[in-house]
Each structure stands twice: as structure tokens, then as C-alpha cells.
Amino acid sequence: MRITDVRAYIPMVGIRPQCLVKIETDVGIVGWGESGLSAREQAVAAAVGHYRDFLIGADPMARGALWQRLYRSQYFEGGRVLTAAQSAIDIALYDIAGKALGVPVYELLGGRQREFVPLFATIGDPMGPGLVEGARRLIDDGWQAIRLFPSMPGPAVTAAAGARSAISYAAADGATAADPDLFEPREALAVTAEWTTRLRAAIGPGPVLGIDWHHRLSVAETVSFVQRMPVGTLDFLEEPIRDENPDAYAQLRTLIDVPLALGEEFSSKWAFVPYIERGLTDFIRLDICNVGGFTEAAKVAGWAEAHYLDLMPHNPLGPICTAATGHLCTAVPNLAWMEIRQSATEDLGFYDRDLFPVQQTLDGPRLVISDAPGLGVEVDESKLEAAVAGHWNPQQLHRRDGSVQNW
């Protein structure tokens, strides 16, 4: 069996593009993968084009060797764009291998360790009474792990009737209709701490409760946020500050008492080195579509297990990313919860049944991985060309003084 073609597609699915990669073989078996580098899909597609030259004529079953060749056969190895492209390619190669052998991908990773993958849901409501209502709705539906987003500017974006989006939120942090991108961290953390405390009091101590700050705070602001809430309010604090400097997280560790969840933006196992070895995180927010596909993700999972750390994988995209992440979660022993972006409080339109007629099964707070060969996802290619997306960029936030703020 040999690779005959490699192609990237960028369809608009729900509220944002998805970068999909298809690999064809001379025996008719096709594999699909997905890149996780949102808002840079065009750059990833171009990198896939470069890698195509290495892949045509290669044996798709030689997944580990191909990973090494793509990563190490150039002077400027790695980086988020290149590794995101490699991730999609690696996932597609595993899809091919599973189909060729007639087994689901999790069998290639050591076999099934759980009957279903536990999920956490996100509440897209703004800070206010609707937050409590949304949490109670999730708990009534059987969800035991809930994530919040902080107070954010801008009008709420709805992707489906009755559902709320987590892309932007109405909030009392100074944003106005004339300036919907205004974000002041101090104002946002004050509102968020108040309503997070109220939410914990309303739902009791049982449900897992976390919040994702998306790198929008400084060390001092993070400490201020945590100190405004009673001990035990939060079960995890996700990405409060940027990750380029591990020493900043080391400092933060000495100042707060909330478990940290980090790593969704890491593009290789090497990026995890200081965070795992120095004990700077408590949950591994690994993204299989960015870290290098199954080949790298399995190594990070085993490494985390050796340090008694559980995975809490980043999964913000569509059915291919969800299936790949779900297969990994099915096969590893050290799993907390997997992210999903579809629940009673959030639906971004990523699970398009016309474009992806065969998907893995979402059963409320559970993902049930089938025993279908490969990833267990089928793509209707006739819909891809009609769904071609242009450039997409997230909200461009700024502070009141005009300076740039992280999205």
C-alpha cells in the first residue's frame, strides 16, 4: 500500500473553519485528519502542501518513521503551523492503518480501557443569573464537570436555536455597543469571581467546576481573582496566563491553591517538558490536532501517567478531532474529562451531519467510541467544495487605553 495523494480542505463548519486533511492510497483506503490551529488554517494547508512531496509513494503504515521524517528532514523543524499540519497527517495515517487492519484506532494504542469517555461541558451564558440556570440544566442532564468562561465583551453569538456560543458574551466589564471589543481584566475578574462564587453556592460542592481565562490575565490578576473566592470554589483554573515562560507559572504556583490545567497550545512533547517535570500543572490539556497527532499524544499521555497527572484533552473542533481525541482517551488509563463543545448550554454547529454523515456518538456527558475500523468518521466530499471558508479571525480585544489584549 502506498500514498497517492494528500490534500487539505478548509470548509466553514458552524461558526468557524475546520482544516481537514485527506490522504489517499493506491488500494482505495482513505484517511482523514484535522488540524487544531484555529484562525491559521490557510497557513496549515500550505504546510500540508510542502509535506505532500515527502508523502507521495510512502508506506502509510510506517507512521512513526513518517513522523520523524516530516519533523526532522528540514532545518527549521517544529513550530505550531508545521506541527499542526503533521498532526492532521498523523491522524489520517492512523485512520488508514485502522481501516487496513479492520480495527478501531484505539486498538492500535493498546486497546480499550473504558466503555465511554467522560466529558465536560461549557456554559456560554454571561455572568449573571443565567449562569446558575445553565449549570442546573447541565446537572439535570447528568453532567458532573462544568467549565465557565470569564466575563467578556460583545453580544452573544448563537449557532443554533436555543443554544449559546462561547465565542463572545454580553458582560458588565465596560464594553458598549460602540466598543464591543473592550476588555479590562480587573473589571472582568471582579464580575467573574462574584458570579463563580454564587454559582458554587447554588450547585453545592459535588459538581466539578472550572474556568478558562484563555491567557487573559497576569500573575497578579490571577492571584487577585482566586483570592476573591472561598477555598474550594474552583476545581481547576485553565490557562490563566500565557505559557511562554514556565517560571511565571512556577511563581503562580506559590501564590494560589487552585489546580491548574495547561497545554492546549503546546505543539510538541518538548513544550510539555518544564510543565510536567517541574510540577507546574495538574491537568494535561493536550490537543491531539496540535501536539503531533497520535504519535506524539501517546508519548505525552504515558509521560503524564508517570507523574500521576490526568489528561483533560482540548477538543474545540469537529467530528474528526473529537473521534481522534476520543480514541486516545479510550486507550489511556489517566483521564479526567474530555472537552466537548455541544451540550444544552452550547452548540457551535461543529457536528454538521450533512458534511459528516457518520460520527462517533455523543450521549450527553459521554462519548461512546464505536468499534468501526479507523476513526469511525465519514466525510461527504461533495459538501466540502460548497463549504469552502475564507480567512477567519477571532475577536480582536483591547483595553480602555487602546493596548492589545489576548483573545
What pLDDT sits at residue 390? 76
Alpha helix (H) residue ranges in 56-178:
63-72, 80-101, 105-108, 129-140
CA gap 35, 83 in Å, rounded? 9
pLDDT of residue 125 exceeding 50, the answer is yes
Q: Are strands 236-238 and 260-262 parallel, antiparallel or unpaired?
A: parallel
The x, y and z cell numbers of residue 60, run together, are 502509510
Torsion over CA: 221, 222, 223, 228 (sign): positive
Residue 92: band (very low, low, confident or very high) from pLDDT cuts 50, 70, 90: very high
Helix, strand, or coil (residue 123):
strand
Strands, DSSP E only, in 242-309? 260-262, 283-284
Q: Please check whether residue 405 is in contact with residue 396, taking contact to mean a CB–CB distance below 8 angstroms.
A: no
CA nearest neighbour of 209 among 134, 318, 311 = 134
Please name each of the domains of the chain with its CATH number.
Answer: 3-103 (3.30.390.10), 117-375 (3.20.20.120)
Per DSSP, what are the bridge partners of residue 153? none
| In the predicted structure, residue 170 carries a pLDDT above the cut 70 | no
- Mean residue pLDDT of the chain comes to 92
Q: Are 186 and 223 in contact (CB under 8 A)?
A: no
What percent of the chain is predicted at pLDDT more than 90? Answer: 86
Asked which of 130-134, 166-170, 267-271, 372-376 is least confident by mean pLDDT, the reply is 166-170
Residue 306 has pLDDT above 50, yes or no: yes
pTM over the 0.85 mark: yes
